[in-house]
């Protein structure tokens, strides 16, 4: 990208969920291994789903590497497929790869740039920025996504959002600056308890000296971001890039 370039999210839906994320290599490998054991045992996907007491859709997601294998699934699958311990042991080495699982394809390029940026500035007028969201607030956001998400998709989105927040803790030499409209905090998204949790987390995450938060008052008559949310970052090569969801 050229200096001053813009990464445009287009008409993407709220929550970075326009398409299913690509599986990591370890997820795909574990899924293929589990599928091979199932087929060797002579079970169809539907039969196996009944035996492990998970939906056929969930079994398919596991086998295609779209979903992290949870403990209950691994335990039941291992018992049904010979109780050798192979699935249990191999599941310990499954990872989400580059940390992009749960992020839409059109957002991943920006997420990769975030991880190496020397500065990141965010303006938001709709929701609390993802890097500052609490788990309850993130769930409320994705619970209201249109079209609705499946339970598996919702969990993937929440995990991916919380995973991104490691940036604030792991990059003390990056300058993070947030400007958020006042009414974003006044809107009780998720209810009063969720908002209390959110505000506590925001105060904690913005306490380090490399992180700042400015609240734009409702009385502000005009400003430079009337077109909507925008993010600006600077790379180690001193490139300045912008991202918007036009």
- Single out the residue in 72, 91, 110 at which a domain terminates: 91
- Single out the residue in 43, 73, 91 at which a domain terminates: 91
Give the CATH number of the domain where residue 39 resides.
Answer: 1.10.260.40
83 and 149 in a single domain? The answer is no
87 and 106 in a single domain? The answer is no
94/29 Cα distance (integer angstroms): 9
Give the CATH number of the domain where residue 161 resides.
Answer: 3.30.870
Mean pLDDT of the residues in the chain: 84
- pLDDT at position 95 is 67
- In this prediction, residues 187-203 reach a mean pLDDT of 95
Q: Is residue 53 part of a domain?
A: yes
Short-list 238, 225, 178, CA closest to 203? 178
Which of the four pLDDT bands, split at 50, 70 and 90, describes residue 23?
A: low
Least confident window among 21-30, 37-46, 146-155, 189-198 = 21-30
Q: Is residue 72 part of a domain?
A: yes
The token duo for 4 is 């001053």
Give residues with Cβ within 8 angstroms of 104, minimum separation 6.
12, 16, 17, 18, 19, 21
147/27 Cα distance (integer angstroms): 26
Range of the domain at 48: 25-91
Which of the four pLDDT bands, split at 50, 70 and 90, describes residue 1?
A: very low
- Residues 71-113 pLDDT 10s: 788 999 999 999 999 999 888 777 655 455 555 655 677 888 8
233 and 210 in a single domain? The answer is yes
75 and 195 in a single domain? The answer is no
How many domains in the chain?
Answer: 2
Say yes or no to pLDDT of 20 above 50.
Answer: no
Q: Is residue 1 part of a domain?
A: no
42 and 137 in a single domain? The answer is no
115 and 57 in a single domain? The answer is no
132/161 Cα distance (integer angstroms): 9
Give residues with Cβ within 8 angstroms of 236, minimum separation 6.
116, 118
- The DSSP result for 7-70, as a single string, is EE-TTPPTTS-SSPPPPPHHHHHHHHHHHHHHHHHT--HHHHHHHHTS-HHHHHHHHTT-SPPP
137 and 218 in a single domain? The answer is yes
Say yes or no to pLDDT of 3 above 50.
Answer: no
- Residues 135-154 pLDDT 10s: 999 999 999 999 998 888 89
- pLDDT at position 17 is 36
58 and 118 in a single domain? The answer is no
- Single out the residue in 64, 91, 118 at which a domain terminates: 91
Short-list 50, 85, 55, CA closest to 67? 55
121 and 217 in a single domain? The answer is yes
- In this prediction, residues 30-50 reach a mean pLDDT of 95
Q: Which residue has the higher pLDDT, 152 or 39?
A: 39
């Amino acid at each position: 990208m050229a200096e001053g370039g813009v990464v445009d999210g287009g008409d993407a839906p709220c929550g970075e969920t326009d398409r299913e994320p690509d599986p990591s290599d370890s997820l795909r490998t574990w899924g293929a291994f589990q599928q091979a054991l199932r087929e060797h045992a002579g079970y169809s996907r539907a039969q196996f789903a009944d035996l492990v007491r998970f939906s056929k859709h969930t079994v398919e997601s596991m086998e295609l590497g779209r979903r992290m294998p949870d403990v209950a699934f691994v335990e039941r699958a291992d018992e049904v497929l010979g109780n050798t311990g192979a699935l249990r042991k191999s599941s310990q080495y499954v990872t989400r790869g580059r940390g992009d699982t749960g992020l839409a394809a059109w957002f991943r390029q920006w997420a990769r740039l975030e991880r190496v940026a020397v500065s990141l500035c965010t303006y938001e007028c709709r929701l609390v920025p993802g890097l500052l969201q609490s788990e309850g607030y993130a769930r409320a956001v994705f619970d209201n996504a249109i079209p609705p998400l499946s339970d598996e998709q919702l969990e993937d989105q929440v995990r991916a959002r919380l995973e991104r927040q490691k940036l604030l803790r792991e990059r003390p030499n990056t300058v993070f600056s947030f400007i958020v409209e006042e009414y974003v905090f006044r809107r009780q998204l998720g209810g009063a308890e969720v908002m209390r949790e959110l505000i506590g987390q925001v105060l904690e995450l913005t306490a380090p000296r490399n992180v700042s938060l400015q609240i734009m008052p409702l009385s502000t008559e005009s400003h430079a971001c009337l077109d909507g949310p925008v993010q600006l970052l600077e790379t180690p090569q001193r490139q300045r890039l912008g991202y918007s969801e036009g």
